[in-house]
Amino acid sequence: MKKWLVLAAAAAALIVAACTTIDTTPPTVSIVVPVSGDTLAKGSIAIKALATDNKAVAKVEFYLDGSILGTDNVGGAGDTFRYTWADTAAQTAGSHTLAAKAYDNASTPNTTTSATVTIYIGGGSSTGETDHTEDITGGDSTWYPSGNPHVVMNTIHINQNGRLIVKPGCIVKFATDAGFAVGNQSAGELDAVGTAESTITFTSNNTTPNSGDWTGFDFYDQTRASTHLSYCDINYGCYPNWAAVILEGDQTIGIDHTTIHHSSKYGIELNSAGAYITGFTGNTITACDSNPIFSYPGKLSMLQGGNTLTGNGKNAIFVYGGDVAETGTWLNQGVPYFLSDNVYVSSSSGAYLTIAKGTTVQCGTGVHITVGNNLPGGLIADSVTFTSSATSPQKGDWYGIWFYPECTDAQCQLTRCNIGYGGGDIEGDIWLRDAKPNITGCSIHDSKGWGVDCEGPEFPDPDSLLAHNTFANNDSGSVLHP
């Protein structure tokens, strides 16, 4: 009997052993912060790794130049493991490699080592304040965070094929009336690309900073299109009566994930009809004395969304008068577009402007939006408010929306729009001259003239306009037709 029990127990053990699954699946691991190529300042450098496993990650070891730095055996939300490298003595200038090694919970742990990430500790040992007075010409100059703070003593010109590279973590301070002038009369480039973990700061050198202490960034028409501001903090700068960032000519630069604040006038000024910004997203412009952006109308459709433009003295995009000669969309940027002068939508090949839902267009005194005058054009607006820019709007503050004979009727649609306080020329909130736009679901009100003024041989059916729109408080009446 005992022999039978022994044999049964042995058999059960064999069965259990046979049914036990040995974990042979290794974890995955990669370093996500910093990224390869980052130049970092000495100090507390955050290292983050993402590690996953089919069962569980037990720990992650962090390595510097092949030697272990430390271990995180706790982890955090989203399978993220962390280590802070704070040994400044080991943070010697030049390149370093980082790696992470993940362990799972198997009885004999499975491990995986990440790909290495190469970072740079910039510019040698800390030198304290670095003063700059010389122009950047004839090649590349690089500013490293080890030279913090970089103090710009006078306006520095970046031209004659000069290129200034400002590395992540740099702090650049400007003396009174100093700034950057890029691409004036010859080619120049500014490359200031920080990271989410290591931004670049451009600020006043005054102990008590004020708006407009320094003159900001002045980009001239020879600025290279590869010029880029990313993850920057620009504050207290403004060229007198202009902006913290100015584009003088028909050129483009990139700006993203950048904060501009405490300008004594505009945050950004596009001071030419052909100037525009690429990749404009993730930006914040706030605490400026006037508008966040000044621009001509032609290139406004190049502005991307996902920006914060509130908290300024005037919370609207200032649009100077001019032509819209390219098809595009004015996105809803969370603040109105203020038209200071007339906007003309047309071109020889046809220019069709779409204004995004929920947008407000504020029109200054005597302003009109003209579509299809002599050349093909179109205006498509759904759920857009067209109104006066006055604090207390009055009838006739602006002239209205004008459709001319050359407008492409199929590309002229006003749907569910709120249009009011126009008719300043005694015509109407909407004036049609031999044109047949589709106008439906709109509220047309408070015109000093007609709600809709139709002239010429071609115009929409007046009964349909009356049936499919609402009219109120228009001095001359709802719809005039020949």
For the chain, percent of residues with pLDDT exceeding 90:
80
Q: What is the pTM of this model?
A: 0.79
Clarify whether residues 278 and 339 are in a common domain.
no
111, amino acid identity? T
Sign of the dihedral through C-alpha 121, 122, 124, 130 = negative
Let me know if residue 381 belongs to a domain.
yes
Let me know if residue 441 belongs to a domain.
yes
Exposure of 265 by Cβ count < 10 A (0-12 exposed, 13-18 middle, 19+ buried)?
Answer: buried
Task: Examine the fold and report which residue of 90, 121, 152 is the final residue of a domain before the chain moves on.
Answer: 121
What pLDDT score does 309 carry?
Answer: 98
Let me know if residue 155 belongs to a domain.
yes
Clarify whether residues 95 and 174 are in a common domain.
no
Clarify whether residues 103 and 192 are in a common domain.
no
Tens of pLDDT along 442-458?
Answer: 999 999 999 999 999 99
Let me know if residue 181 belongs to a domain.
yes
What pLDDT score does 447 carry?
Answer: 98
Instruction: Region of 124 please: left (phi>0), alpha (psi -120 to 50) or beta.
Output: left
Clarify whether residues 349 and 361 are in a common domain.
yes
Q: How many domains does the chain have?
A: 3
Clarify whether residues 207 and 301 are in a common domain.
yes
Clarify whether residues 454 and 381 are in a common domain.
yes
Whether residue 153 contacts residue 131, with contact meaning beta carbons closer than 8 Å, is answered with yes
Clarify whether residues 347 and 267 are in a common domain.
no
Whether residue 216 contacts residue 241, with contact meaning beta carbons closer than 8 Å, is answered with no
Clarify whether residues 316 and 328 are in a common domain.
no
211, amino acid identity? S
What pLDDT score does 127 carry?
Answer: 54
Clarify whether residues 335 and 453 are in a common domain.
yes
Which residue numbers in the chain have pLDDT < 50? 1-7, 9-18, 124-126
Let me know if residue 21 belongs to a domain.
no
Clarify whether residues 285 and 299 are in a common domain.
yes
Domain of 56 in residue numbering reads as 28-121
Clarify whether residues 290 and 335 are in a common domain.
no
**Residues contacting 254, CB < 8 A, separation 6+:** 227, 228, 229, 230, 277, 278, 279
Clarify whether residues 115 and 149 are in a common domain.
no
Let me know if residue 98 belongs to a domain.
yes
What pLDDT score does 222 carry?
Answer: 98
